[in-house]
Amino acid sequence: MNYALDWSVIPEAMPFLVQGMLLSLGLLAASLLGGLALGIGLALMRLSPHRWVSGAATVYVSVFRSIPLVLAIFWFYLLVPLLIEAVRGTFTPIGPMYSAFIAFVAFEAAYFCEVIRAGILSIRPGQTSAALALGMTRAQTMRHIVLPQALKVMTPLILTKAIIIFQDTSLVYVISVSDFLGAATKIGQRDSRLIELYLFAGAVYFVLCFAASKCVDIYTQKKRAAA
């Protein structure tokens, strides 16, 4: 090895790296909350008896599920400022960060739609019949009977997906957003210490994702034992 590693850059870079990590976690939270909300909406649309409604949701989901996340990030990076301009009438530079948030919500919603749809379909039809027989409306049945059970069934899948989303947030690198990896890159380039910063970033991602996946495993096993 003919490269002398110098780890002293890491402590100095800490405040900026922590900021980056907060942004990564923010992207994860937005993808989970926004993506699940939009995903539930899309799943209900896909199960709708109206052909146009279910067709529109199907097209949305199949397009987003067949393109790379990187391309989706570029798309929203391009579209969001134009949409804001169309709405407000004037050009407003908002920076790539908001585009990144919207891209993640829109992209992950397509995945969550499929998960939730599978969850809804896994609930026995007798549950719906029973609720309707009790005098609940279709909407009440979905909200109080079917959806809570569907989400519960799908929790392990959603949690596993959350770990993957957390890793995927690093892709905002392509539009120069300072998430954890983006922050590491910027400092690494400034100090010519990319190797140390990338090794450190990789180690941090590994520790967090490994610990999280072990927790999900334990949770899933407990759940299976309880069932």
Partner 1 sequence: MNYDWNWAIFFARTFTGVGRYADWILSGLALTIGIALVAWMVALVLGVLLGVARTLPWRPVRVVAATYVELFRNIPLLVQLFFWYYIAPVLLLPQTLQDDLNAAHPVLVQTATAVWCLGLFTAARVCEQVRAGIQAQPPGQFNAGFALGLRRSQVYRHVILPMAFRVIVPPLTSEFLNVFKNSAVALTIGLLELTAQSRQIGEFTGHIFEAFIVATALYFLIAQLIAWLMARLERRLRLPGAEVHR
Binding residues (CB under 8 A) for partner 1: these are: 1-3, 62-63, 65-71, 74-75, 78, 82, 86, 163, 167-168, 170-171, 173-174, 181, 194-195, 198-199, 201-202, 205-206, 209-210, 213
The smaller minimum CB distance to partner 1, of residues 116 and 146, is found at: 116
Residue appearing with tokens 């990338």: 198
Of 100 and 142, which CB lies nearer to partner 1 in the complex structure?
Answer: 100
Please state, in angstroms and rounded to a whole number, the distance separating the CA atoms of residues 129 and 120: 14
CB of 76 to partner 1, least distance (A): 11
Residue type, 162: A
At 153, the amino acid letter reads V
Return the number of the residue (87 or 227) whose C-beta is nearest partner 1: 87
* Shortest distance, position 24 Cβ to partner 1, whole Å: 10
In three-state secondary structure terms, 141 is helix
Write the CA distances from 126 to 46, 129, 130, 141, integer angstroms.
Answer: 21, 5, 6, 12
State which residue, 101 or 107, has the beta carbon closest to partner 1: 107
Nearest Cα to Cα of residue 173 among 184, 182, 186: 182
Minimum distance of partner 1 from residue 159's CB (angstroms) = 14
